[in-house]
Amino acid sequence: HPYGYVDFGALMRPREAICVMGATFVRGPRIEASLWLAAQGSVRVYIDEHLALEDTAYRHLDADRHAVAFELDGQWRRITVKVCGAASAPALALRIADRKGAPLDGVFVEASEAVSVKHAARRAARAAGLGGSTKPSDARASSSRRCARCGRRRVPASPSA
């Protein structure tokens, strides 16, 4: 599906009063990107280990309800989503775009063990101080907007609803 739509009620039993977590990896050219999503139920989104968005309201699915800005840097970034449903099954619609929401060329999405292992090794090297860039993506980025643990820019949450 072009919007990354998943109806977890079609995959899980029981269908109601459940929470589901899913993860994938995304890689693209060095660019400011955005993650556009909607969830039926409450939702939390993590980009790598950073909480990027939390909406605790149980809502009906409405595509592009939220947008979160994040940086693609040529390396794999992990996107983890937790969706909880109450009276209805949780569902999720997700897409990756440029800063304005337009389609983004050159983006790869994969959820394989091989990519997961590479991502984990990169995180471990960063934690040990052996790798990973802490260079700001623009001249206006300040150290207060960076994670103290890994040096990445903090992922700002910018709900549009």
Which residue, 161, 30, 34, 157, is CA-closest to 94?
34
The per-residue pLDDT for 134 is: 37
Q: DSSP states of 7-61 as a string?
A: EGGGT-SS-SS-EEEEEEEEE-SSEEEEEEEEEEEEEEEEETTEEEEEEEEEE--
Q: Give the per-residue pLDDT at 154.
A: 52
Q: Encoding tokens for residue 26?
A: 């995304």
Strand partners for 27: 108
Residue matched to tokens 């619609």: 93
Q: Which two tokens stand for residue 59?
A: 């809502």
| pLDDT tens per residue across all 161 residues of the chain | 555 788 888 888 888 899 999 999 999 999 999 999 999 999 999 999 899 999 999 988 888 899 999 999 999 999 999 999 999 999 999 999 999 999 999 999 998 899 999 888 888 888 888 655 433 333 333 334 555 555 555 554 434 43
Supply the pLDDT for residue 56. 94
Alpha-carbon gap, residue 40 to 7, rounded angstroms: 9
Cβ–Cβ < 8 Å for 1, 72: no
Cα–Cα distance measured from residue 45 to residue 54, given in angstroms and rounded to the nearest whole number: 7
Residue 1: burial class (beta carbons within 10 Å; 0-12, 13-18, 19+): exposed
Please report the pLDDT score of residue 151 as a whole number.
Answer: 55
Q: Please, which residues bridge with residue 100 across strands?
A: none
Query: Could you say which DSSP state residue 62 is in?
Result: -
Please state the pTM of the whole predicted model.
Answer: 0.75
